[in-house]
Amino acid sequence: MKAALHTVSSESTIARGDGTRNALGFGATGFIGRWLVKELLDQGISTTAAVRNLARFGAVADLLRDHNVATTALSVVEVDLVVDGIELRPGRLNHIREIFNVAGAHACGMTPAAARAANVDTSRRVVEFAATLPHLGRLVHLSGYRVGGQDLASIPWSEAKRKYQ
C-alpha cells in the first residue's frame, strides 16, 4: 500500500499566541482516525473530531477511555463529505488552525467512479472547506494507495487484473 503525506507550514504558525493548537480531524471514526484523535489529545491539542455518523463515535470514545485519554479538549461534529459544501454553522470552526484528513474508502472491486467519489471528491471538499478557515496553518492529507503518479502501463498485470485495479 502506498500513501502520500503532504504537510505545509511550521509549528510556529499553527499555534495561537498563547500556544494553543486547535485541530480538526476528518475520518475520526476510522482505523487511523481514532488513533489520530488519541495522539492529538495526548499531545494536549484541542481536537474536533469530524464524523459522518455520530452513532459510530462510540468506538472512538471506548478507545479513548481504555487508554485513559483526557477528553476535555475534545469536541465532535457531524460532517458527511459525500455532499457538496460542508454544512456547519458558519464560524463554528473558525478557531481551527490545523486539519488532518484521514477520511476515505477502499473496497475490493470498487468501481473507479465510486473510488473517486469516496476519496477524490471528499478530499476536494475538505480542501475547499479548509480554504474558508481564517486561521488555518496546516492541512495534512493521508491519501489512499496508488496516488503517486505511477504509470499503470509499467505494471505487468493481465488485462483482467488491470480492469479491477
Ligand X SMILES: NC(=O)c1ccc[n+]([C@@H]2O[C@H](COP(=O)([O-])OP(=O)(O)OC[C@H]3O[C@@H](n4cnc5c(N)ncnc54)[C@H](OP(=O)(O)O)[C@@H]3O)[C@@H](O)[C@H]2O)c1
Positions in the binding site for ligand X (CB under 6 A): 1, 3, 27, 29-33, 52-53, 56, 80-82, 102-106, 118, 122, 142, 144
* CA–CA dist 111, 107 (Å, integer): 9
* CA–CA dist 76, 83 (Å, integer): 19
How many CA atoms, within 13 angstroms, populate the side-chain half-sphere of residue 13?
10
* CA–CA dist 27, 101 (Å, integer): 7
Closer of 41 and 142 to ligand X (Cβ): 142
Cβ 26 to ligand X, closest distance in Å? 6
Closer of 52 and 95 to ligand X (Cβ): 52
Distances (CA, A) of 38 to 2, 93, 149: 24, 20, 32
Cβ 112 to ligand X, closest distance in Å? 15
Cβ 101 to ligand X, closest distance in Å? 8
Closer of 1 and 160 to ligand X (Cβ): 1
Cβ 60 to ligand X, closest distance in Å? 9
